[in-house]
């Protein structure tokens, strides 16, 4: 009998945080102390209706976490046209609401979190909901990926970062002409539904979110010897200073 070769490892484009590869219908990525907590969270949320996130599959023989592969395209840099379609904003708001509602009741002290807990801990925030972590296929969003940054926090904390990236407040993201960031933000909040914060609350939280992200990015740049990330941190602080009041 001829041995069946192991599926080829295909490196996946990602951020500056972990190494990610695709193996067959799975994704393998560097695990950490937070991995058991995140896998328990994914199982909990999927059981409560959050179908748009990967299925946790444990760890492989190399100690890497394993997740199900969600077929489609991500909104990597430079963002594809679908990122700027009004339908994407609406679907992203609906997806985030489904995720948040599905995480209510998950124990805050379930284990280690990669990111700080922010009060009030209403839900488990993705903390990195953005086009580069959204999967698009057949003309619509089909998933949110890279949940390893999740931690408890208020709904507005997640909405603020998603709005920053998806509604064209981020200064390094090329966007087509004619986009109105505040109009896109209003659409995002409408699609999120009755638990949505106000526009002003999101913009105020966006300032705090970006300043915290800048501080984290500076530390991460030094720890990982990626000095170019200091430029990202400078951009976050600059964007925080230039946000509209709402």
Average pLDDT taken over every residue of the chain: 93
* Overall pTM surpassing 0.85 (yes/no): yes
Structure tokens, 141: 């969003």
Reported as half-sphere exposure (CB side, CA atoms, 13 A), residue 167 has a value of 26
* pLDDT digit string, tens, across residues 188-206: 999 999 999 999 999 999 9
CATH for the stretch 73-242: 3.90.1200.10
Instruction: Give the residue among 127, 104, 107 at the shortest CA–CA distance from 40.
Output: 107
> Where exactly are the structural domains of the chain?
9-68, 73-242
- For CA atoms 208, 212, 213, 218, give the dihedral sign: positive
Contacts of 107 (CB under 8 A, 6+ apart): none
Phi, psi (deg, nearest 5) at residue 233: -60, -40
pLDDT at site 110: 81
């Amino acid at each position: 009998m001829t041995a069946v070769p192991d599926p080829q490892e295909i490196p996946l484009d990602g951020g500056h945080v972990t190494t990610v590869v695709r193996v067959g219908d799975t994704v393998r990525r560097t695990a950490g102390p937070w991995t058991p907590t995140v896998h328990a969270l994914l199982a909990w949320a999927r059981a409560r209706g959050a179908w748009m996130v990967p299925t946790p599959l444990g760890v492989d023989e190399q100690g890497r976490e394993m997740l199900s592969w969600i077929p489609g395209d991500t909104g990597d840099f430079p963002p594809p046209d679908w990122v700027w379609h009004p339908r994407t904003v609406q679907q992203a708001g609906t997806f985030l609401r489904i995720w948040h509602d599905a995480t209510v009741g998950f124990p805050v002290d379930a284990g280690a979190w990669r990111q700080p807990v922010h009060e009030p801990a209403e839900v488990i925030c993705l903390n990195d909901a953005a086009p580069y972590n959204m999967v698009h296929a057949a003309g619509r969003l089909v998933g949110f990926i890279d949940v390893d940054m999740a931690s408890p926090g208020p709904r507005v904390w997640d909405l603020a970062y998603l709005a920053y990236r998806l509604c064209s407040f981020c200064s390094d993201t090329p966007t087509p002409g004619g986009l109105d960031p505040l109009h896109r933000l209003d659409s995002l909040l409408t699609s999120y539904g009755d638990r949505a914060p106000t526009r002003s609350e999101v913009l105020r939280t966006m300032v705090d979110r970006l300043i915290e992200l800048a501080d984290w990015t500076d530390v991460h740049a030094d720890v990982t010897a990626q000095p170019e990330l200091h430029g990202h941190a400078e951009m976050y602080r600059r964007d925080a200073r230039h946000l509209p009041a709402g």
